[in-house]
């Protein structure tokens, strides 16, 4: 822990109580001037700290941001978010940053978060927009011992973790749309972009990028997605702590990643099926150059979509965009 982090921990331990510069200086074995400098840095990070010549310092409030300290507070994991959480006020894309870090050898569980992305990326070459500080833009590094064709399973695993985190933190009826969108009332609240570096028979690393619309208002959404997207705020009229939601995601990702390692994909597939409302419904699926319509029959043991088309044929779809069709 850095000196600034230790100072913050002291202030948090005694939140609402005045601590003199002299006391803090003794506790951290640094001068009162150094304490004053670190307090200034914490205020810049958004912490509300009152200062008084006579009484010293008192912590009144923490910022709603995804700073490493805020996310790590009370985090119950041993891998995800444990080594480093890299926080950017703005960056191109957390997936790109995680990719660089993974190439440099960052361990499994490394996390990258940003308050704002200038080149946020979505599935199938689309972009991902999230207004500054209103949503969660985070990427996680995994180093699974699997072959590349098993990677789609990790995408479904992530959608289960994210959907469960949303259900645990907000009173909403969230469900999963194949392969990995999280919806509330048919509108998208979270999306996942999984990218990997692999050879034919070996995966070096996987980056799972998660975007969640948390405190996003309808007005701050671009007009072309206003009808298709939603947020926890739009659904409930309440603001949520993004740090708490991200922490819950990390805890659930760790749990499901362990399940995947020890028991394989089967239990995750079962949970995925409980969290979707698509099975048995009429859908259309856009794949590269064609659109199929039919009934969403199931997902198979690889996480692929099985649909029964209008001719009654079963089709196995590896990747595509699903839209519900009215019966």
Per CB under 6 A, residues contacting ligand BTN are 93-95, 117, 120-123, 126, 128, 137-139, 181, 191-193, 209-211
> Least distance (Å) from ligand BTN to the CB of residue 102?
14
3-class DSSP assignment, residue 111 = strand
Under a CB-based contact definition with an 8 Å cutoff, are residues 217 and 136 in contact? no
Q: For 19, which DSSP code?
A: B
Under a CB-based contact definition with an 8 Å cutoff, are residues 78 and 254 in contact? yes
> Least distance (Å) from ligand BTN to the CB of residue 242?
13
> Least distance (Å) from ligand BTN to the CB of residue 51?
37
Tokens standing for residue 202 = 């070996």
- Separation in Å, CA 48 to CA 33, 41, 43, 45, 81: 19, 11, 6, 9, 25
> Least distance (Å) from ligand BTN to the CB of residue 194?
9
Dihedral sign computed on CA atoms, order 188, 297, 208, 77 = positive
Residue closer to ligand BTN, measured from CB, 19 or 278: 278
Residue closer to ligand BTN, measured from CB, 115 or 181: 181
- How far apart are the C-alpha atoms of 264 and 147, rounded to whole Å? 13
Residue closer to ligand BTN, measured from CB, 146 or 192: 192
> Least distance (Å) from ligand BTN to the CB of residue 139?
5
Tokens standing for residue 64 = 């709603």
Q: State the residue number with the nearest CB to ligand BTN.
A: 191
């Amino acid at each position: 822990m850095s000196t600034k982090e230790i100072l913050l921990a002291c202030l948090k331990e005694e939140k609402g109580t005045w601590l003199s510069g002299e006391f803090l200086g003794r506790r951290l074995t640094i001068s009162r001037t150094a304490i004053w400098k670190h307090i200034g840095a914490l205020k810049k990070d958004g912490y509300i700290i009152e200062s008084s010549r006579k009484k010293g310092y008192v912590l009144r409030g923490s910022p709603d941001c995804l700073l490493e300290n805020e996310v790590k507070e009370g985090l119950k994991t041993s891998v995800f978010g444990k080594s480093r959480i890299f926080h950017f006020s703005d960056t191109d894309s957390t997936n790109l940053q995680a990719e660089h870090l993974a190439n440099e050898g960052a361990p499994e569980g490394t996390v990258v978060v940003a308050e704002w992305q200038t080149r946020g990326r979505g599935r199938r070459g689309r972009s991902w927009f999230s207004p500054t500080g209103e949503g969660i833009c985070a990427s996680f590094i995994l180093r699974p011992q699997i072959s590349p064709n098993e990677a789609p399973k990790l995408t479904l695993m992530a959608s289960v973790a994210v959907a469960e985190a949303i259900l645990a933190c907000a009173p909403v009826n969230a469900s999963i749309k194949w392969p990995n969108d999280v919806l509330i009332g048919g509108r998208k609240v979270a999306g996942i972009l999984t990218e990997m570096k692999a050879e034919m028979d070996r995966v070096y690393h996987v980056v799972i990028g998660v975007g969640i619309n948390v405190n996003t208002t309808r007005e701050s959404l671009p007009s072309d997605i206003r009808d298709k997207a939603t947020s926890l705020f739009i659904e409930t009229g309440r603001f949520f702590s993004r740090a708490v939601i991200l922490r819950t995601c990390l805890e659930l990702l760790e749990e499901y990643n362990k399940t995947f390692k020890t028991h394989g994909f089967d239990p995750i597939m079962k949970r995925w099926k409980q969290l979707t409302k698509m099975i048995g419904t009429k859908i259309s699926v856009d794949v590269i150059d064609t659109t199929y319509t039919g009934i969403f029959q199931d997902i198979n043991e690889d996480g692929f979509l099985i649909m029964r088309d209008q001719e009654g044929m079963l089709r196995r779809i590896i990747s595509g965009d699903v839209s519900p069709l009215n019966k």
